[in-house]
Each structure stands twice: as C-alpha cells, then as structure tokens.
Amino acid sequence: MSMRFKRLLPIPKEIREEMPLSAEMSERKVSFDEQVAAVLTGADPRLLLICGPCSADREDSVLEYVTRLAALADRVRDRLLIIPRVYTNKPRTKGTGYKGLLHNPDPEAAPNLLEGVKAIRRMHLRVVEETGMFTADEMLYPTNYQYLIDLLGYIAVGARSVENQEHRLVASGVPMPVGMKNPTGGSTDVMLNSIYAAQQPQTFIFRNWEVSTTGNPLAHAVLRGYIGMDGLNYPNYHYEYLERLAASYTEADFANPAAIIDCNHDNSGKRPLEQIRIMKEVLDSMRRSEPIRRLVRGFMVESYLEDGNQPLDGGVFGKSITDACLGWDKTERLVLEIADRI
C-alpha cells in the first residue's frame, strides 16, 4: 500500500500557452457564454442540447462528428443552442477500465497522463477552432478543468462526484454553467444541496492556494435517472417527478432554477434508442405544465457517428467504446424533429 510520484505534470497555464486559443475565438466565447446564460435563466426561449459521444476517444472521429453537428446546429439555431459533448474523463463504477482520453490517449495502451493532458487540450482546441463550437466536458478531477477553461461552454459534475465537497466548492468558482447530476442513488435532496453549495461564495484550498469564489448562479440540476436498492434502473424525467422538483426548487432559495434532462444513463437504462422517446415525453410534459416548462432548459443526448458501442479494440470509426450511443442519422432526425416541436 503506497503511492509513487512518477513525474511532475505541466500546470494548466503551461499547456494553454503551448496550445493557445486564437484571439478571434476568444472574442466569440464571450458572446457564446452570454447566450448559454440567457437560456439557463429563461431570458432566451431556446433550449440547450448537449450532444455527443459517451467518451471522446479519438480526435479524428470526434472532429468528424462535431463538424456535422455544427452544420446541424446552424439549421436549428433559432430553437436550440447546441453544445458538443467532448468528454475526456470517464468515471468508472469499480475504478478500473478505460478512464477516458486524459488517462488513455491510446485506449489500448497503458495510462499516460503527461500525454493525456496534452491530448485533451489538443482535441478540445481543434473542435473549437475548426468547427466554431465551444465544448462540454465532465469535471471528474476538480483541478483539471483549468487545462480547458477558455474552451468550455459547459461543465457537468457526475453522479459519483456530486456529493464530494471539493467538486461543489470548485463549481462555485468556475466561469461557466455547471450541471450537478443527481447521485446514483437518486436523492433529490443531495442534488439540491450540491447546487446550493455551488451557488454560494466559498473559501478553500485549490492547487495549494487559499482561494475564494463568488458563487456560481448558473449551477443547476441534471436528471440522469438512478439505481434503486434492487439494482434496477429508475427514471426521473416523468411528469410527476418534474412537477415535484419544480416545487422544491422554487420553495428554496436558489438562483435561476433550471434542469437539464440527461436522456441516457439510468433514465434510458443505457438503451440509446430510448433517448428519442424520452425527449418527446419531456417536451409533452413542458406543454402541459407551465412550472415544468420554466424548469426544463434543455437535454443531454449521447450520440456518435455509428449506433451502439464496441470493445476497445473494435476498430469501427465513430462507434462508442463505452456506453452505447445513437448514430448520426438518428441524431440528425431527432434534432430536427425536436426543433419543430419546440
């Protein structure tokens, strides 16, 4: 039982200086952040759609996917604000297996975190510069978001991390919206407590500094379903749940109550085709209930070039090596249909 210090990694500032964002895209980022904030606060009637692979495993296939997504986003820009999901950190329930591009730049090779911090910056940067779309990623490690701080339009705190104090405190100081997922056990109170903590000013230790934050008024809920005591998947996107959450949110002292519906994971039982039905059901609930309409500000969808998933060594271009995803053709049809329904 021991910990071996293998090598000192470059700090985020060094990686950002090695691979800088262009001045043009830095300027565009300000406008984009304002648009996302307006959607989450309800000032903009559009909905967010955070859409992309379960894990961003290959630079070439991710770029091909986001290039297509950028063209699609332009077609529906008056109804949907789309953020590509470029998830380079993967939480593992049992702590083993493929942990994402950060750990495994080559999915079939041993972990290499030095190359990993470079690989995640390079992938996100190429997506932004070559497609014009700012990205979303998961805050698996609270200190690592700074490698990507100028590129991210959205951060999610996952179901396994949302109860962790460091994630909550760091979320209070990041300069972009943070979606706090319900925990794997499904507790609404735990999720709301995490949002409250992220919205408050905080003081804590970060990268060996004493830091203070102003609080993040754009911290909000992400509903991803949960696993019951019987080990089965249970959804939390149905009308009755959304109605209760809207009431809980408004009764408490929260800034900008908002929820994003994660259409995969335990909401779909990891059956990606169910994402289509789930989105349609939630939109129907929004039409029937004004409190639900005000609460739900968007969706998350797991989607890639090809339907389904494959083993690490499967070799199919654009097919997920983690959770199964919707393929591109189904994604395109879904986005166009949802835009027509809004």
Q: Which domains does the chain have, with CATH numbers?
A: 12-341 (3.20.20.70)
pTM: 0.96
Quick: pLDDT tens for 141-179.
Answer: 999 999 999 999 999 999 999 999 999 999 999 999 999
pLDDT at 250 over 90: no
The answer to whether the CB of 79 falls within 8 A of the CB of 146 is no
Percentage of the residues of the chain whose pLDDT score is greater than 70: 100
- What average pLDDT score do residues 45-66 get? 97
CA of 236: how far to CAs of 29, 64, 183, 188, in Å?
A: 33, 33, 12, 10
pLDDT of residue 1: 83
pLDDT at 252: 84
**Cβ atoms of 160 and 181 closer than 8 Å:** no
**Structure confidence at residue 31 as a pLDDT band (50, 70, 90):** very high
> Would you state the pLDDT for residue 236?
97
Beta strands 226-227 and 233-234: pairing type? Answer: antiparallel
pLDDT over threshold 90, residue 335: yes
Is the CA virtual torsion 181, 187, 193, 196 positive or negative?
Answer: positive
Kindly report, residue by residue over 197-206, the tens digit of the pLDDT.
999 999 999 9
Q: In the prediction, which pLDDT does 151 show? A: 98
Per-residue pLDDT band at 60 (split at 50, 70, 90): very high
Mean pLDDT, rounded, for 33-60: 97
The answer for residues whose C-beta is within 8 angstroms of residue 70's C-beta and 6 or more apart is 131, 132, 133
Over range 321-336, report the average pLDDT.
Answer: 96
Decide: 233 and 239 in contact? Cβ < 8 Å.
Answer: no
The pLDDT of residue 92 is 81
Task: Please report which confidence band the pLDDT of residue 123 belongs to, taking 50, 70 and 90 as the band edges.
Answer: very high
What's the whole-number average pLDDT of the chain? 95
CA–CA distance, 3 with 102 (Å, rounded to integer): 20
The Cα angle at residue 58 between residues 53 and 59, in degrees rounded to 5: 105
Distance CA 93, CA 323 (A): 13
Task: Tell me: pLDDT of 95 over 90.
Answer: no
Tell me, what's the pLDDT at 251?
A: 83
**In the 8-state DSSP scheme, what is residue 296?**
E
pLDDT for the residue numbered 90: 84
Q: What pLDDT score was predicted for residue 51?
A: 98
Is the per-residue pLDDT at 253 higher than 90? Answer: no
- What's the Cα-to-Cα distance from 166 to each of 192, 198, 280, 299, 332, rounded to whole Å? 16, 10, 36, 26, 38
SS3 180: strand
Per-residue model confidence (pLDDT) at position 93 = 79
pLDDT band for position 235 (50/70/90)? very high
Q: Where are the alpha helices (DSSP H) in 59-187?
A: 59-75, 113-131, 165-171
Pick the closest to residue 305 from 71, 70, 69, 145 (CA basis): 69
- AA identity, residue 293: R
Confidence band for 254, pLDDT divided at 50, 70 and 90? very high
The average pLDDT across 262-289 equals 96
Does residue 128 surpass a pLDDT of 90?
Answer: yes
